[in-house]
Amino acid sequence: MFKKKVTLKILLLLIASDILETAVQFFFKKSALAKDGFAVVDMATAVVFFKAVFTSPFLWAGLFTVAVVFIIWSMILAKIDLSVAVPIASFSYILVPIASIIFLHEHITVLRWVGILFILMGVILVSLSSKERIVQEK
């Protein structure tokens, strides 16, 4: 077991991971919107849709960013426990809706914000329980 402390370097990597994960979601959404209002009703229109998606620079930016996130995440997991890393890296639950509002002009309902807050409260509880477990094991 690692039980290593979260250093400033690891915290910065976790923040970078969250920001880049948010960028991945944005890039994939923009890629899917490459043919806005396009209806896939048969194989021919599906081929046209996928051609538009796969020629979108947003798709390739998203795939590149996924690779970068994978590298960063691997570096993080080599240094700290997964049960510590995941709760800390859960700020994308907030960043994705904020990016959706700013860049995609999406509307986030109050009920959805309440759900996001419940998820974050659960993440905090899980994070606190993992700290409690580590203290009890010492």
**Mind listing the pLDDT tens digit of every residue in the chain (138 residues)?**
445 677 889 989 999 999 999 999 999 998 888 766 677 788 988 888 788 878 889 999 999 999 999 999 999 999 988 888 888 788 888 899 999 999 999 999 999 999 999 988 887 787 676 554 444 445
pLDDT value for 134: 47
| Interhelix angle 8-32/92-104, nearest 10 degrees | 40
* The CA-based dihedral angle spanning residues 44, 45, 47, 52, taken in that order and rounded to the nearest 10 degrees: 150
Do the Cβ atoms of 17 and 76 come closer than 8 Å? yes
Determine the pLDDT at residue 32. Answer: 81
pTM of the model: 0.77
- pLDDT for the residue numbered 48: 83
What pLDDT does residue 98 have?
92
